[in-house]
Amino acid sequence: MPKKISQKLERFLKSPIVLIIMVFLALALVMLKYLLLDEASPLLLTIGRFHPIVLHFPLVLLALALLTEVGAYFNWHSLGRTFSFYLLLAAVVFTLISIFSGYLLFASGEYAGNLMEEHFNGAVLTGCLLLFSLVLYLHQSKGSPWFLMSLLATNVAAFYTGHQGGNLTHGQNYLTEYLPMIGVEEKIYQSDTTEYLYEDIVQPILEAKCAGCHTTLRAKGDFSVSSFEDLFKAGESGKIPLTHYNPKESELLVRILMPDSLTDHMPPAGKTPLDENEIAILEYWISNGAEQKQTLTDSSSTDSTQKEITLLVNQLEPALKKYRFNVFKAKRNAQKLAEELEELAVDMEVNIKRDQESEGELYTLSAKFPPAPFGSEKLSQLKPYLDLFTKVSLVSSQIDDADLYVIGQMSNLEELYLQKSKLKGSGLIQLSKLNKLQILNVSFTEVDDKALLDIVKFPALKQVYTYGTKTTKDVTIALQKYKPTLQIHAEEGPYF
C-alpha cells in the first residue's frame, strides 16, 4: 500500500504545475532576504525562536538521504525507492520550514552582520539545491549520477550553512578553532611534571585566575602576574604583592583571603576565585620562600605537611592542565587577532591599538592625521570585529546617518567621536542600543534639536559635545533638566 501511494505521489509531483511551483519556491527563497518585514509580530518571532530546534532534523535527513543514495548507487543495500522518496520529501519539507523560521529571526533584526548574511545565503542555497535534487529524482532514471552529485552539493551547502550558524552563535572559527592545536602545540600547554612549585603549579593558577586584569599590558593597580619578578614589585598601593616566607605580609594573599564583601577582595565580583586547594598551595609556597626554582621537597615543613601539599597538587593536576590549555589558547587567539587587526589597520589607513584600560581583547580605532577617506565601504570591513572596540574616533570622515546602524552594533563601545562627519542626526537613534556608550561628540555636524532629543534614550550616556551643530540652547537646557546625569557641552570637545 505505501508503495502505491508513493507512486501516485511521484506521478503528481512530476506534473508541470508542481514543477512550476517548485521553481517558484526556489525563486521565493532567493528573494526572501529582500522582502524583510518592517515589524515582526510576537507570534512570528515566537515561531522564529524555534529555528535552532527545527534545523537539526533536516540536517540529519539530508545526510541520511545522501548515504541512502550512495548505498543504492553501489548496491550496498536493498532499500526500495519508496524509502528514498519519502526521505527526500521529508528533507525538503523540513528544510523549507527551517529556512522560513530562520528568516523570521533574520527579518526581526535580532541577528545582523556578515556572518548572518553568509548563514542566510547558505540556507537559501541549500534550499534551492534540495528542490533541484527533488526535480532530478523525479525526472531522472534510478541511480542517476546527476541526482547523486546534486544531493552531495546540497549536503556541502548544508554543512557550510551549519558552520556559519555555529560561528554566529559561538563566535568566528568555532568549528576550526582547535585544529592548529592538535598534536603540534600540545607540549606547550600540557605538562607531565609538577617539579617546580612556581612554574608548574603557581604560575598556571595565577594566569588562569588573575591574568585577565593583571598583565604587563593591562596591569590594574600596577600589579602584573606576567613574570616571577612582577610578583615582587610594589603596586599602586605601595605594598609588595609577595613577601618571602611571610604570607601575612604578602598583599596578594591578603586580598585573596579578604571577605567577598570588601571592595579590595581579589578577584573582584564576577571573576572566578581561587579555590581552597589553590590558596593552600599558594600559602605553602610563600611560607617556604616563594622561590622560582623551588620544588615540593625544598621546604622546612614537616613530612606530613609535604605529603598533604603533594596530595593537593595531585588532586589539582587535571585543573592545572586545563589552566595551561586555556592560557595557551587565549594567548594564541590574542596573537592571531592582533595580527588580523594590524593588517586591517594598514589596509584601512587607520590606527587600531589595544585598549590598555579595558579588560579582555579590546581595541581603540582612530583616524590618522591627516585623515584618509573613511566611509561606508571601509566601515563594512570592520563588521567581523564590531564588538572589539571601546573607543572610536572617525573625525572628518564620510560617515553618515546610514552608517550608524553598523556602529550601533559595537556592543562594547564607550566613546564615539564623529566631529566634522556627514551626520544630520536621523540615525542617532541607532546608537541607543549601545549600553556602554558614555561619550558622544557630534560637533561640526548638521545634528539638530530633533536628533538631540533621541539621546535621552541612550542608557549610559554622560557627555555630549554639540559645538557647531544646529541644536539650540533652549532644547539643551530642557534636556539637561530632564536628565541631570547628562552633560551637553556647547564646545568642540576632545578628538579621542
Residue 495 domain flag: no
Residues 395 and 275 occupy one common structural domain: no
- Is 33's pLDDT higher than 80? no
Contacts of 475 (CB under 8 A, 6+ apart): 449, 452, 453
Residue 342: inside a domain: no
pLDDT at 1: 44
212 shares its domain with 108: no
| 496 found inside a domain | no
- Which pLDDT score is estimated for 414? 95
CA distance 15 to 11: 7
Whether 100 and 20 map to the same domain: the answer is: yes
Higher pLDDT, 331 or 252: 252
Does this model's pTM top 0.75? My answer is no
One domain for residues 319 and 407: no
Residue-level pLDDT at 48: 67
Determine which of 248-262, 314-328, 430-444 has the lowest per-residue pLDDT on average: 314-328
> Among the three residues 170, 200, 219, which one is the final residue of a domain in this structure?
170
Average of per-residue pLDDT values in the chain = 82
Same domain membership, residue 239 and residue 316: yes
pLDDT confidence of residue 431 = 93
Q: Which of 331, 359, 381 is the last residue of a domain?
A: 331
Residue 195 and residue 287 in one domain: yes
User: Does 143 share its domain with 286?
Assistant: no
Express each pLDDT in 108-144 by its tens digit: 655 656 667 788 888 889 989 989 988 888 887 666 7
Per residue in 268-303, pLDDT (tens digit) is 877 888 888 888 888 888 888 888 888 777 666 666
Q: Are 127 and 95 in contact (CB under 8 A)?
A: yes
Q: How do beta strands 350-354 and 389-393 pair?
A: unpaired
pLDDT at 317: 80
Please check whether residues 133 and 193 belong to one and the same domain: no
Q: Which secondary-structure segment (H or E) carries 441?
A: strand 439-441
- Reported as a pLDDT band with limits 50, 70 and 90, residue 468 is very high
* 8 A C-beta contact, residue 133 and residue 88: yes
Residue 60 has pLDDT above 60, yes or no: yes
Same structural domain for residues 190 and 163? no
Q: Does residue 446 belong to any structural domain of this protein? A: yes
Domain end: 142, 170, 198, which one? 170
Residue of 113, 123, 199 whose CA lies nearest to 163: 123
CA distance 239 to 112: 48
Q: Is 178 domain-assigned?
A: no
Confidence of residue 393 (pLDDT cuts 50, 70, 90): very high
Structural domain containing residue 83: 2-170
State phi, psi for 320 to the nearest 5 degrees.
-65, -40
Residues 6+ apart with CB under 8 A from 112: 409
pLDDT, average across residues 250-264? 86
| Residue appearing with cell numbers 574616533 | 393
Q: What band does 460 get if pLDDT is binned at 50, 70 and 90? A: very high
Average pLDDT over residues 360-376: 87
Whether 193 and 151 map to the same domain: the answer is no
E strands, 228-324, are none
Q: For residue 380, what is the domain's CATH number?
A: 3.80.10.10
Instruction: Tell me, yes or no, whether 341 lies in a domain.
Output: no
Tell me how many domains the chain contains.
3
Same domain for 393 and 476? yes
Question: Which band of pLDDT confidence, cut at 50, 70 and 90, is reported for residue 314?
Answer: confident
Name the least confident of 9-13, 321-325, 341-345, 462-466.
9-13
Amino acid 446: pLDDT = 94
Kindly report the number of other CB atoms within 10 A of residue 402's CB atom.
Answer: 13
Per DSSP, the three-state class of 275 is: coil
Q: Dump pLDDT digits (tens) for 205-214.
A: 888 888 777 7
Q: Which residue has the higher pLDDT, 198 or 212?
A: 198
Identify whether 92 is part of a domain.
yes
DSSP per position, 371-412: PPP--HHHHHTTGGGGGGEEEEE-TT----GGGHHHHTT-TT
| Whether pLDDT at 3 is above 80 | no
Do 136 and 27 lie in one domain? The reply is yes
Closest to 40 (Cα-Cα) out of 94, 110, 97, 115: 110
177 is a domain residue:
no
Lowest mean pLDDT among 10-14, 166-170, 387-391: 166-170
